């Protein structure tokens, strides 16, 4: 699919992609452009097959300006890859970020060249199964990604200053885009999730770490290493790996929670087991889950107070914490009363699994091809 289109034309395609099919007249109105300008912008999109006129039924008396235009999502193929220290998760999507295929493999090792080879291999297999060329590949990792090019610091992969985009691009034909994993999830919500109805929103993820993404006025606000990960909750709380007492990471991450319950029971436990034990009334697990959920509630209040976002999306692979610790989460939120007076609960929960992370990476690729102005 050709992507050599003027920025103005791409903006029309992006608007239709996010907000759905509309007529030329409605698009001109929504985008604040004149009808002739809109018609000029649409022409190359129709010629390139990016847009189609969808009105199958001809209505007498209706002009061309009333025929709805839509994107052709299946004219495109993107691959998104999310790296963790244990596995490589990959999905193939169309332009609407609908997952068409997926593959998960164990991470070969954390050695950079081995990871590059593994990513190139999984992308090639997905391309082969798609039966056509890929339009772009998006790759996300936990940690600090600079300029979309360099993994500056990833505590999960134990990488520092790795020029990962260049290394990947040398091994594959399609354009490669690199981003932080939470940024990928945030972008997926921005275009294809809850963000479609909110210009301002925050995303808070729980799981192996605590992730934070912020969109203000339709733009992803760049954040360095998650400012919420080590937000102070209780000065008398447990220690996090960085030596903070009672920060978010000391309560909410899956390693912190499993370690605390394992210590109480003198045996190893998994994250799901911690939640199951808490749900079944185990005192130690209940306390750990409630403290984590309470800390999450405090963080939610802090974020809504600090940013004024109208919506906060809770997600991440550890999101079942919200179900098991619902009452404690609520109590934590109430400790900052008045943070939100509109009466509308800003919190929504987005269930997810690891493929959702890979889908976020695919959205990084989609937005790489269709950059938002
Ligand atoms: Zn900390």
The residues facing 130 across adjacent strands are none
Distance 231 CA to ligand 1 centre (A): 7
| pLDDT < 50 regions, the chain | 341
> Which pLDDT value is given to residue 8?
86
CATH architecture of 7-74: Orthogonal Bundle (1.10)
Distance 296 CA to ligand 1 centre (A): 14
* CA distances for 170 relative to 119, 148, 363, angstroms: 12, 16, 21
CB-CB contact of 259 with 241 (8 Å) = no
Residues 143, 264: Cα–Cα separation, whole Å: 31
Distance 236 CA to ligand 1 centre (A): 13
> Which pLDDT value is given to residue 224?
66
Give the single-character DSSP code of 147. Answer: T
Distance 305 CA to ligand 1 centre (A): 21
Distance 229 CA to ligand 1 centre (A): 7
Distance 180 CA to ligand 1 centre (A): 20
Distance 142 CA to ligand 1 centre (A): 16
Q: Where are the domains of the chain?
A: 7-74, 76-188+356-369, 194-349
Q: Which CATH superfamily is domain 76-188+356-369 in?
A: ATPase, nucleotide binding domain (3.30.420.40)
Distance 253 CA to ligand 1 centre (A): 11
Give one word for 371, left, alpha or beta, with left for phi > 0 and alpha for psi -120 to 50.
Answer: beta
Distance 257 CA to ligand 1 centre (A): 14
The dihedral over CA atoms of 212, 203, 324, 289, expressed in degrees to the nearest 10, equals 10
Distance 292 CA to ligand 1 centre (A): 14
Distance 15 CA to ligand 1 centre (A): 40
Distance 328 CA to ligand 1 centre (A): 21
Distance 228 CA to ligand 1 centre (A): 9
> Which pLDDT value is given to residue 249?
95
Q: Which CATH number applies to 194-349? A: 3.30.420.40
Q: Say whether 76-188+356-369 and 7-74 share the same fold.
A: no
> Which pLDDT value is given to residue 352?
81
Distance 262 CA to ligand 1 centre (A): 20
Distance 145 CA to ligand 1 centre (A): 20
Distance 281 CA to ligand 1 centre (A): 29
Handedness of CA 189, 190, 194, 196 (dihedral sign): negative
Distance 210 CA to ligand 1 centre (A): 10
Distance 247 CA to ligand 1 centre (A): 5
Distance 239 CA to ligand 1 centre (A): 7
> Which pLDDT value is given to residue 54?
86
> Which pLDDT value is given to residue 1?
62
Give the single-character DSSP code of 247. Answer: B
Distance 238 CA to ligand 1 centre (A): 10
Distance 232 CA to ligand 1 centre (A): 8
> Which pLDDT value is given to residue 344?
60
Share in percent of the chain as helix, strand, coil (round to 5): 45, 20, 35
């Amino acid at each position: 699919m050709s992507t050599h289109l003027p920025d103005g034309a791409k903006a029309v395609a992006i608007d239709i992609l996010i907000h759905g099919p509309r007529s030329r007249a409605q698009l001109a109105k929504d985008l604040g452009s004149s009808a002739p300008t809109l018609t000029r912008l649409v022409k190359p999109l129709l010629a390139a097959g990016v847009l189609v006129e969808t009105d199958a039924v001809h209505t007498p008396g209706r002009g061309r300006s009333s025929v709805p235009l839509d994107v052709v999502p299946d004219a495109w193929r993107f691959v998104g890859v999310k790296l963790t220290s244990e596995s490589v998760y990959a999905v193939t999507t169309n332009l609407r970020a609908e997952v068409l295929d997926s593959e998960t493999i164990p991470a070969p090792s954390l050695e950079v060249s081995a990871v590059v080879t593994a990513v190139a291999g999984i992308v090639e297999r997905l391309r082969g199964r798609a039966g056509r060329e890929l339009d772009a590949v998006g790759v996300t990792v936990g940690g600090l990604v600079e300029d979309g090019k360099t993994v500056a610091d990833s505590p999960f992969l134990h990488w520092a200053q790795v020029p990962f985009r260049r290394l990947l691009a040398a091994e594959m034909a399609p354009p490669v885009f690199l981003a932080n994993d939470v940024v990928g999830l945030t972008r997926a919500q921005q275009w294809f999730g809850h963000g479609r109805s909110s210009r301002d929103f925050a995303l808070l993820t729980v799981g192996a770490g605590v992730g934070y993404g912020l969109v203000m006025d339709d733009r992803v606000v760049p954040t360095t290493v998650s400012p919420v990960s080590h937000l102070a909750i209780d000065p008398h709380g447990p220690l996090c790996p960085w030596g903070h007492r009672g920060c978010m990471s000391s309560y909410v991450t899956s390693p912190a929670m499993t370690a605390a319950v394992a210590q109480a029971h003198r045996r190893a436990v998994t994250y799901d087991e911690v939640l199951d034990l808490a749900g079944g009334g185990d005192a130690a697990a209940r306390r750990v889950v409630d403290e984590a959920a309470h800390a999450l509630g405090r963080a939610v209040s802090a974020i809504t107070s600090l940013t004024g976002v109208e919506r906060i999306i809770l997600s991440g692979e550890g999101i079942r914490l919200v179900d098991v610790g619902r009452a404690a989460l609520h109590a934590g939120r109430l400790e900052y009363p008045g943070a939100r007076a509109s009466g509308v609960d800003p919190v929504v929960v987005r269930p997810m699994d690891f493929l959702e992370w890979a889908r976020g990476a695919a959205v990084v690729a989609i937005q790489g091809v269709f950059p938002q102005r």
